[in-house]
Amino acid sequence: MGANTNFATWDSRHYQGGSGSTTTFSEGNCRVGTTSGGYPLQISNFAFPATGKYYIELNNIVNNNYHCFGIVRQINVEYGNYLLDGTGAYQYQAWNGQKRGNGGSAAAYGSSWTSVGDVIGLAFDADNGKIWWAKNGTWQASGDPAAGSNEAFSGLDASQNYYFGWSDYYTSKAGTVHINCGQDSSFSNSKTSGSANATDSNGFGDFYYTPPTGFLALGSASVPVSDDIDPAGDDGATENPTKQFNTVLFDGNGTTNAVTGLGFKPDLIWGFTRNGSQSKRVIDSTRGGSERLYSDLGSAASTGTATISAFGTDGFTATGGAFNNDSGKTCGSWCWKANGGTTTSFSAGGNQLAGTYQANTKSKFSIITYTGSGSANSEVLHGLGATPNFIIFKARNDTHWWGVYHKSGGTVNTGYDSLLYLNSDNALASGQNVNIVPDSTKIVMSGNEQINRSSSYNYVMYAWADVEGMQKFGTYEGNSNANGPFVYTGFRPRMLFTKRTESAGGWRVRDTARDTYNPSTKISWWDSSSIEYSNSDYSIDILSNGFKIRTSSNDFNASEKWIYGAWGDVPFKYNNTF
């Protein structure tokens, strides 16, 4: 077994029991059983990464002929209490050797597994969107995961946060299974023979059967991190996530205030006042420290007064009350590193507009400025080398609301009419006459005054792409239960925003600079000038690999679709070593 590795287990925090069923966990949450069936759903305590190939085993401890073993999307976990729905394979019905996926009908698939001691293998190829099952070391239907052939299902989108899951698909008969993601080839001494001590392709884990070539144990050591943002890749000077994003807290003084302790030179500074009602200031090094926008207002930029007089190597210098720096107030700023204020210009021509970008190609963050045209399918360059998942934009020289594009784990902006607004708690609005199509080099846009009205309008745009181990933008489904969803990010979040999309609800933001232990309860709003607010009804646990909703409040866990964005400080791969 590999050292310093956390292998996946069943997630007892995310239990959804079926009618009349009592579920018990044992053997370090590797074993789960029911007393009377009842369609319970159990899922893993972290998701399959969006890249890579992974192998896990399930031992049939107490058989009832109705064990379903497969994978389920994060967004579908809250819809039902058993393996019911999800893109790709989600159900393996052992009682008659069947498979079912993507909401389709059951189909014959290999042999039934009805005997106590049957070991079912599951291989998931996230890179190519394929999945296979094996029974007692034999891959069903002539499947060959190592060769990538004869898969049970293909076309799975691994970016949608798949978890492995098990359902006891019988209303009145008990069943028990034991998962092995590399912990123990004996399944806690319930097996004594087989290919004991078989490891994955990197030498991690202890499996009953040898994993297919190229497939890894589902554990923290196998979690990918970006080659560019990897704390183990340098001395921490550049590749640590906290050198790309951080939150700094300070006391306002109403005059010149040198704020330090950030850890890097910031290019985007988003200020907030904790104990006073004040708009959030948004300043960046492309526009300069004398031009400020307000994230909770649609008004044009304010100029003339130096809001930030210096972007320093370890922070910034705020000037007077033009920033969130009023005397006697406790204040803070969320800060991102771009390119040290150095921009790249792009010229108008064809569909391309004239503008600049300032990109951090490692952390995938870019500041873009441009002049509008009013023409359909206009383009701006972003310089990230990856497709942005989260974009916010604002007309600088006129009163228009902030627009928001968010796409991860499912599309939020659909077609030519849907939009969210940063300075409003509105639900996802249709009929907005806007379309945004980003790719790895450009952002193509058409539509309203928020994004491209005419050549009389100047705009600023901030764009982020997902970075393994550092930042992630996705969706989850609320369940209106204090035992809310767990959302896997692959890192410990340092800052997190959540927003409901099907009804009104604010852009609620929390960070670990203000909440230093769980549960996290301190909230600020991007769309409001309200003071910081703390309430036990707002409880969320910030975990080493994501976050767990601990409230039934509609402000965080209404039974509808939510979007989130998270920036991290420690990738899950390193077990909080850094």
% pLDDT > 70, the chain: 87
Q: Report the 3 state secondary structure along 1-16.
A: CCCCCCECCECHHHCE
pLDDT at 3: 46
415 pLDDT exceeds 60?
Answer: no
Choice between 350 and 36, residue whose per-residue pLDDT is larger:
350
What CATH fold (topology level) applies to the domain 12-222? Answer: Jelly Rolls (2.60.120)
Q: What's the pLDDT tens digit per position in 505-526?
A: 999 999 999 999 999 999 999 9
> 431 pLDDT band (50/70/90 cuts)?
confident
Choice between 464 and 201, residue whose per-residue pLDDT is larger:
464
461: left (phi over 0), alpha (psi -120 to 50) or beta: beta
Q: Which amino acid is at 473?
A: F
Phi, psi of 17 (to 5 degrees): -80, 150
> 306 pLDDT band (50/70/90 cuts)?
confident
The model's pTM is 0.89
Q: How many CB atoms lie within 10 A of CB 377?
A: 12
pLDDT at 446: 85
DSSP 531: P
Choice between 439 and 485, residue whose per-residue pLDDT is larger:
439
> 80 pLDDT band (50/70/90 cuts)?
very low
Q: What's the pLDDT tens digit per position in 316-358?
A: 999 988 899 999 999 999 999 999 999 999 999 999 999 999 9
387 pLDDT exceeds 90?
Answer: yes
Listed ranges 22-36, 61-75, 337-351; the one with the highest mean pLDDT: 337-351
% pLDDT > 90, the chain: 60
pLDDT at 564: 95
Average pLDDT over residues 431-448: 88
Give me the residue spans of the domains in the chain.
12-222, 245-336, 344-464, 471-574
Candidate from 298-312, 353-367, 475-489 with smallest mean pLDDT:
475-489
- Pairing state of beta strands 130-135 and 138-139? antiparallel
CA separation for the pair 124, 217 (Å, rounded): 11
Candidate from 227-236, 369-378, 386-395, 410-419 with smallest mean pLDDT:
410-419
405-to-354, 391, 451, 458, 565 alpha-carbon distances in Å: 21, 5, 11, 19, 12
- Pairing state of beta strands 67-73 and 355-360? unpaired
> 90 pLDDT band (50/70/90 cuts)?
very low
CA separation for the pair 364, 471 (Å, rounded): 9
* Nearest in space to 45 (alpha carbons), one of 508, 488, 396: 488
Q: What's the pLDDT tens digit per position in 177-188?
A: 999 999 999 999
pLDDT at 30: 94
pLDDT at 231: 82
